[in-house]
Chain A
Amino acid sequence: MPIFIQKTLYSLSLLLGVTFISFMLMVYFGPDRSYAIAGKNPDAAQLEEIRQQLGYNQPLTSRYLGYIKDLASFNLGLSESSGKPVARLLAETIPTSLLLLLPGFLIGNLLALMLAMIAAWYKHSWPDRLLTNLSLLGVSISFLIIIIVLSTWLCTPQGLNLFPSRGWRVDGLSSWLTYATVPSLALIFVTVFFNLRFYRALLLDEMEQDYIRTARAYGAGPFAIMFSEALPNTLIPILTRLLFSLPAILVSGSLVLESYFGIPGIGKVSFDAIFNADQPVLNAIVSLSAVMIVVVTWLADFIYPRLDPRISQHLVVR
């Protein structure tokens, strides 16, 4: 199966590239730990010994190979700031981030799709124009401003004071609602406006197609046309967008949200790691995100032929 092998090789080369860049930036040019370990006023011999132990004196290639070996065997090391194993740190925080981000992400995309359907159906008349103008306004408002306005309005005594302004003590639906509502609202706001125009353009393209004309001629109503005719034809670009934005949302999106609301997820962990120059943690997160991209690519290859019979297995190239 040559295409299959080609795909595997490509994924591996992608992983190699990402790990090489993260190695160069975070290990090779990264912080020198020998001073921290040696303590105060070390002499040159002490420093040299520590550098030897840490492998700083080895050539670039063998250091990189050692780095790859550690990653491949899930030997992620210990966090330098907290001393915890990095793997456990990730296992503890990823579920929190998923709980925080996934509902808002999905609701936001669903809402964007519904609004895009309305806009595409009423193409060039007032609902479409209203939504298009609103979405331009919406994408122009910074995520930060939305977060600050929402939290000031909903979480402080000056506003409605309905929710706690920080923290995360979730053990059920009601506590989830308490802590996740405001961050989710901010995420939904951003997701809706970020995606609305894209989905509208996709659906507008489909609405021009001949088969939509056929469906109309054969008595299909607005819902049938949108959901049964146009939507199946746009699933691939929609799914591509969803799948490929997921790693970015999980790592980068959580950074702002979790550091602002003080939620112990992957974003907070990477925020802290950035400021403590906690290499093992940063390395793990970067590698994790690259692995997610590769997994998502595989997933796409697996799903697409099921959505469009014209695509034969393993022919999708992103």
Chain B
Amino acid sequence: MSSSLNQTKPADPIFFPQLGVLVFFGLIVVLIIMAVYPLPDWQVISPDRFAGISQEHPLGTNALGQDIAARAAQASWHSLRIGFIVTICAGFLGMLLGLVSGWYAGRWPDATILWLTGVMEAIPFYLFVAAVAYAFRQLSWSMELAMVVTFWTTMTRLVRAEVIRLKQRDFILAARAIGLSPAKTLTSHILPNALPVILVQFSMIFIAAIKAEVILSFLGLGNSSTISWGLMISESTQEVIAGHYLNFFSASILLFMLIYSVSLITDSLQTRTDPRQGVA
């Protein structure tokens, strides 16, 4: 053995943790440029089919001569909107149910919520969305509704586990001993401590919603009144065989950028807040 001074520091497993924020801002900048750039309306059909990249059509046109850049921009906003709506609704619903379930662990509200979680997890997601879309076909937001109703379950399970874990801690016992109400104890003592888990789960729901929306609209189960990445990819499957890649690439690269950046941010959030995942 040599008597050298050997030193290696364990590192963050992600090569560039800042990359997530960077990609996310890149995406936002691209979207802003697209919003500012004078693009034709995304619905307008022109005889200019499969046009290449030009000043008028920065990303070319599709099989109907529609401007891909305009469609991509519209689809991005559509995706982001669905992502945020579903995340906020499903996230808060799951959080609320998790808090109640964890607080009353072992009693009937907990049993009911757990049962509901089990039921929702036993129903195949895409079939459920299809059925909801049909049952509530008058509503334009039936897909969002279906996602909210199914995406809360993991959040509930996680928050419930956190509440049960924290409830045993001395500072919570002390808060309850001095007569703090359950609602106050939950919001001012338990919630802040469960926040890392909740934040991570919020972004997990966001990713799941974006991915699900893409697959649903690819399958034709989405909102047909607007354009989405899934529809663009669905259109492009025929175009790709004919050698026209612009539609496919613009949709898939935007989709990838969004999911990758949110995944990276989630991951560094997780590494920072979970001591077990963190640097030894």
**Contact residues of A with B, CB < 8 Å?**
10, 13-14, 17-18, 21-22, 24-26, 29-31, 123-124, 128-129, 132-133, 136-137, 139-145, 148, 152, 156, 158, 201, 204-205, 208, 247-248, 251-252, 255-256, 259-260, 270-271, 274-275, 277, 282, 285-286, 289-290, 293-294, 318
Contacts of A152 in B (CB 8 A): 240-241
Contact A286 B233 (CB under 8 A): no
How far is A145 from B258 in the complex, measured between Cα atoms in Å? Answer: 14
9 more A-B residue pairs beyond the given contacts A123-B280, A142-B255, A208-B276, with a C-beta to C-beta distance below 8 A:
A10-B115, A17-B115, A30-B134, A124-B280, A142-B214, A143-B215, A251-B127, A260-B237, A318-B118
Query: B63-71, B178-186, B195-203, B216-224: which one contacts chain A?
Result: B216-224
How far is A17 from B276 in the complex, measured between Cα atoms in Å? Answer: 37
Q: Is chain B's binding surface mostly helix, strand, loop or mixed? A: helix
Contacts of A137 in B (CB 8 A): 260
22 sample A-B contacts, Cβ–Cβ < 8 Å, listed by A number: A18-B123, A25-B135, A29-B134, A30-B134, A123-B10, A128-B13, A129-B14, A132-B14, A137-B260, A140-B259, A142-B211, A142-B215, A143-B211, A144-B214, A144-B215, A148-B248, A248-B124, A248-B125, A271-B219, A282-B127, A285-B124, A318-B118
A164 to chain B, nearest CB (A): 13
How far is A114 from B126 in the complex, measured between Cα atoms in Å? Answer: 31
Closest-by-CB residue of B relative to A297 is B118
Contact A13 B115 (CB under 8 A): yes
Contact B219 A256 (CB under 8 A): yes
Residue from the set A142, A260, A293 with the largest chain B CB neighbour count within 10 Å: A142
Say whether B98 faces chain A, with CB atoms less than 8 Å apart. Answer: no
Please give me the 4 A-B residue pairs with the lowest Cβ-Cβ distance, nearest first.
A17-B119, A29-B135, A140-B260, A251-B124
Say whether B11 faces chain A, with CB atoms less than 8 Å apart. Answer: yes
Say whether B226 faces chain A, with CB atoms less than 8 Å apart. Answer: no
How far is A14 from B112 in the complex, measured between Cα atoms in Å? Answer: 11
Residue from the set B14, B131, B263, B277 with the largest chain A CB neighbour count within 10 Å: B131
Contact A148 B237 (CB under 8 A): yes
How far is A136 from B270 in the complex, measured between Cα atoms in Å? Answer: 13
Contact A282 B13 (CB under 8 A): no
Contacts of A17 in B (CB 8 A): 115-116, 118-119, 122
Select B256's contact among A141, A293, A318, beta carbons within 8 Å.
Answer: A141
Contact B263 A158 (CB under 8 A): no
How far is A252 from B214 in the complex, measured between Cα atoms in Å? Answer: 14
Contacts of B280 in A (CB 8 A): 123-124
With contacts A25-B132, A139-B263, A145-B233 taken as known, whether A289 is within 8 angstroms of B240 at the C-beta atoms is no
Closest-by-CB residue of B relative to A290 is B122
With contacts A18-B122, A158-B243 taken as known, whether A136 is within 8 angstroms of B233 at the C-beta atoms is no
B271 to chain A, nearest CB (A): 10
Contacts of B255 in A (CB 8 A): 142, 145
Residue from the set A24, A208, A285, A286 with the largest chain B CB neighbour count within 10 Å: A286
Contacts of B118 in A (CB 8 A): 10, 14, 17, 293, 318
